[in-house]
Structure 1
Amino acid sequence: MNFMATLTAVIASGLLVALGLAGNLFIVICNLFFRSSGQGLHLGDMLVTCIAVSTVILDLSAYLSMALFLLGGMCPNSNITMQINMFLTIAGISLNYWFIAWLCVYYCVKIVNMSSRVFIRLKQNISTVICCCLAGSVPIIIPISSAAFYIGMNDSNNSTTQNNSCPPIELMSSALGQVAMPLFVVQSIVALVLMMCSCSAIIVFLCGHIRQMQLSSPEIADSSQNLIRVAKMITVLALLYLFCTIAGALPVFIGQAAFSKEYFLVVDCMFSAACLGITVTLIAGNSSLRQKAQCSQQTWNFKERGRCLIFEKSCSDEVIFV
């Protein structure tokens, strides 16, 4: 890859990171500081905020890792700086997996109605159950993320080559493959199953619910439209997760990935685009965030129109004076 192509990819990825960072900061600020008086932060908003924070960690650490790799021309784990960034990147990915998965489960239990006593009991205690599940996810995240510190430390083959590329992943530490990769696969599969089952249950329930409502009234009520919007939000999040998992892990499993500039640029651009997609989806799918974004846009447009009017008035005054 020539210099101009590399520079273009770095700038494009940087713009995506900046947009994603602005959107995620907007989500965090709105959920934590700009709430109605007396209104607490319920679990759904808390999970959305956690997804935004983990997305910021993932976005910044992945971009910084790519920048350090391009500037240093070294293997990604040949110094402590790269190891820290790899740790944050893997931790951000894992946190995103579980936060999105439990958000899907949370909305599934809140939206779907069943006559089962077990399900009714689960619906009544869903906040406690989700918090316990989040706490149970930590023992899986820590070993996967911590393994980044030990990649290649005792592997003499993991060194910088003359053409600034690294050995294929299959030549790296066998301990990493025996510990981190199986846990990563289990984590990905479990999270994916939770997401897809929750999304499928919501879609099936809403199809039947809307069909029954249309028999009595052809127009869909606002409450049903909000449920449809939430279903679309978590479905898009699950699809983004599925795309990133397949696109990022497939080269590793087929043994064709190497830590080259091209591989790092492609993966980083993919993560930046996915993180921005997650941010846009969270804002568009949450009615409160969407309304605040629209109000912010209207306020910005009003201020811009005011500035233009002041500028036009000053220009006309200068013309009259002349």
Structure 2
Amino acid sequence: MSFFTSIFLVIFCLESLAAMLQNGFIVTVLGREWIRGQKLPAGDMIVACIATSRLGLHGVALLNGLLGSINFCCKCYLFFNIIWDFFNVLSFWHTAWLAVFYCVKISSFSHPTFFWLKWRVSRSVPRLMLGSLIICGLTVISSMVGNLMVAQMMASLNSCGNSTLTYKIEMFKNSYFMPHEKIIILSVPFLLFLTSTILLMFSLCRHLGRMQDRGLGPRDPSTQAHTVALKSLAFFFIFYVMYFLSLNIAIMEIKTFTNYWHWGWEVAIYAGISLHSTILVLNSPKLRKALQMRLRTQVPQAHKALEGPGQRAIPCSSFQC
């Protein structure tokens, strides 16, 4: 590996470990509340599902990247690729449902459809999460079956001695079929996400216009709710655009770019996912309070460790403090 590739790989590993700790914290806090018998609100349930899928996504991406960098067993590498595809599609669906949930609960549209959705969306969240899991499972299974069929076709052509046709089929699968398949699979949740975000922005513009007509300021709860929701969705939108750019680069086969800057793209893409998870933690009062309590318990322990055994902290005077 080149020097820059090694640097980006190290940054990617540290970034993935930090993201796993962050998403593990979300899963622990919300999972502990659910185990204690307290019913999770619909929004917290979606956030917990997002954190779970991203915990698996970062873990498999870290393992897959390390195995790929050392040219480990090809079969194991392909197996982890399949698992990564599952968590990747699942994360996209969960984030799309979060955007739909924000749009339905926060938007101030007066259409009867929105009133019906506001009444139904909280009750439908468990079914939506289960449906996303089933869709992702079927997607991965269909992709595996398609790849196995192509592999058997190539094996039969190789046995017949037709190496030219085998090479063309393999190039078509790697350069055209697989990238476009991923784009088509991810386009459905992205359209849900994009439509919900646009409607939320339109609702915010309408609400700000009404507030200006009434001579009121932009500090009302509805405006703040719109702004917080849009901030949390903006990072995922940036990540998705960068992900599509990386797929287009793979389709165009820009080998110089992909060889030397592949890990740079990986660092940028997964930084977007990590930032989105950070925004989710900061926007949730429950998670923010748990994080503050955790930090408060860690600081005294760090002071005790620095004092050492048998030593006592010397209180400072008011002038010294």
TM-score normalised over the length of structure 2: 0.77
User: Counterpart of 2:10?
Assistant: 11
Distance 1:294 1:306, change over 3 A: same
**Aligned residue pairs: how many?**
298
Alpha-carbon distance in structure 2 between the residues aligned to 1:66 and 1:138: 22
Alpha-carbon distance in structure 1 between the residues aligned to 2:121 and 2:302: 45
> Which runs of 5 or more structure 2 residues have no equivalent in the other structure?
156-166, 315-321
Q: Does structure 1 retain, via aligned residues, the 8 Å contact 2:50–2:91?
A: yes
User: Counterpart of 1:81?
Assistant: 76
Alpha-carbon distance in structure 1 between the residues aligned to 2:126 and 2:173: 32
Q: CA deviation at 1:286?
A: 2.2
* Offset from partner CA, 1:268-299 (integer Å, 9 cap, x none): 33443233223212212323212322332233
Alignment of 1:255-274 (within 5 A): 255-257=253-255, 262=260, 264-274=262-272
Greater mean alpha carbon deviation, residues 122-131 or residues 275-284: 122-131
User: Counterpart of 1:287?
Assistant: 285
Matched AA of 2:236: L
Distance 1:275 1:236, change over 3 A: closer
Q: Does structure 1 retain, via aligned residues, the 8 Å contact 2:5–2:261?
A: no
Alpha-carbon distance in structure 2 between the residues aligned to 1:21 and 1:50: 14
User: Secondary structure, in 3 states, of the residue corresponding to 1:72?
Assistant: coil
- 2:100 pairs with one of 97, 102, 105: 105
User: Secondary structure, in 3 states, of the residue corresponding to 1:125?
Assistant: helix
User: Counterpart of 1:123?
Assistant: 118
Alpha-carbon distance in structure 2 between the residues aligned to 1:210 and 1:203: 11
Q: Does structure 2 retain, via aligned residues, the 8 Å contact 1:151–1:172?
A: no
Matched AA of 1:286: S
Larger fraction in helix? 2
Q: CA deviation at 1:97?
A: 1.2
Q: CA deviation at 1:148?
A: 8.8
User: Counterpart of 2:239?
Assistant: 240
User: Counterpart of 2:52?
Assistant: 53
Alpha-carbon distance in structure 2 between the residues aligned to 1:23 and 1:263: 26
User: Counterpart of 2:61?
Assistant: 62
Say whether residues 1:220 and 2:219 are aligned partners: yes
Distance 1:65 1:145, change over 3 A: farther
Alpha-carbon distance in structure 1 between the residues aligned to 2:267 and 2:142: 23
Q: CA deviation at 1:27?
A: 0.5
Alpha-carbon distance in structure 2 between the residues aligned to 1:251 and 1:30: 39
* RMSD (Å) for aligned C-alpha atoms: 3.6
Matched AA of 2:83: L
Q: Does structure 1 retain, via aligned residues, the 8 Å contact 2:100–2:196?
A: yes
* Offset from partner CA, 1:77-121 (integer Å, 9 cap, x none): x73211111101111221111111111011101111332222211
Alpha-carbon distance in structure 2 between the residues aligned to 1:120 and 1:79: 52
Alpha-carbon distance in structure 1 between the residues aligned to 2:104 and 2:168: 41
Distance 1:13 1:257, change over 3 A: same
Q: Does structure 2 retain, via aligned residues, the 8 Å contact 1:55–1:92?
A: yes
